[in-house]
Amino acid sequence: MTEQRREIEIEVLRYHPEKDKAPYYQSYTVPFSDDTSVLQGLQYIKDQLDGSLTFRWSCRMAVCGSCGKMVDGIPHLSCKTFLRDYYPRKVRVEPLNHFPIVRDLAVDQSDFLQKLASIKPYIIRKKEKPLSEGTYLQTPAELARYKQFSSCINCMLCYAACPQYGLNPKFAGPAILSLLHRYNADSRDEGKAERMPFVNAEDGVWGCTLVGYCSEVCPKKVDPANAVNQNKVNSTMDYFLRFMSPRGAANS
């Protein structure tokens, strides 16, 4: 039996800064079936109805993190969100909150990317051992300390959900602090001392007000709020250890 195709109204925020005075909404009627995602709905609009619609996407498999949108006011990966869940109501699609709009549903990622680079999101070694000595081994317990936080796909949904980032764009933000913790917690890494000033800064972990919405919207269950809390503990220890071991606090 052929699956019955239905139609749904998708209301999309449009904004071209070079010619529009302000953002506005435009509605499109899109056919869909039970397995049609919001992203596929947007692709139908672009391919069949309005080629000027601008949005980002890549893998369509909830891996790349490119297709994040506000769907009915909630941050979602549009490839992992299905039109069937909104039918028969219309569904509103907007760019991620708290980011400048480049055009339509595409936002300016510059702030996030600059912060990402600043935490040095890679393994730092003071001295690499020769290849002849083999690989760096870890116990299951050592892996467990950071594995959850390594699942971040940089989709920025947590930033769209974070009220503190919306109020203060200088705040490091959930994903950055999660990725920072991922490397600081890695037994192979020796770069903690280089990252702790970022953690301890006024706009670091102490800028978080513990709302926890970041963890609710994370599509990979990274739990950024948990990472921030652990970073607060590390920051507190780093502060007090300075009085006992001024030179070694951040490395402890």
Domain encompassing residue 151:
110-251
**Which CATH number fits the domain that encloses residue 35?**
3.10.20.30
In a domain, 93, yes or no: yes
Residue 74 within any structural domain of the chain: yes
Q: Give the separation between CA 228 and CA 244, rounded to whole angstroms.
A: 25
The answer to whether residue 137 is domain-embedded is yes
Looking at the structure, tell me whether residues 169 and 185 fall in a common domain.
yes
- Tell me the two tokens of residue 182: 């991922």
Contact 74, 123 (CB under 8 A): no
Residue 96 covered by a domain:
yes
Tell me: the pLDDT tens digits for 184-205? Answer: 999 999 999 999 999 999 899 9
Q: Is residue 1 part of a domain?
A: no
DSSP output for 103-166: ETTEE--HHHHHHHHHT--S---SSPPPGGG-PPP--HHHHHTTTGGGG-----HHHHH-HHHH
Domain ends where: 107, 133, 153? 107
Beta bridge partners of 77: 68
Q: What is the CATH number of the domain that holds 147?
A: 1.10.1060.10
Are residues 89 and 133 located together in one domain of the fold?
no
pLDDT surpasses 70 at 235: yes
Last residue of a domain, one of 80, 107, 134: 107
pLDDT tens profile 92-110: 999 999 999 999 999 999 9
Tell me: do 128 and 153 sit in the same domain.
Answer: yes
Residue 113: Cβ within 10 Å count: 12
Model pTM above 0.85: yes
* Residue 77 and residue 134 in one domain: no
In a shared domain, residues 54 and 98 = yes
| pLDDT band with cut points at 50, 70 and 90 for residue 251 | low
Report the length, in residues, of the chain.
252
Looking at the structure, do residues 229 and 136 belong to the same domain, yes or no? Answer: yes
Q: How many domains does the chain have?
A: 2
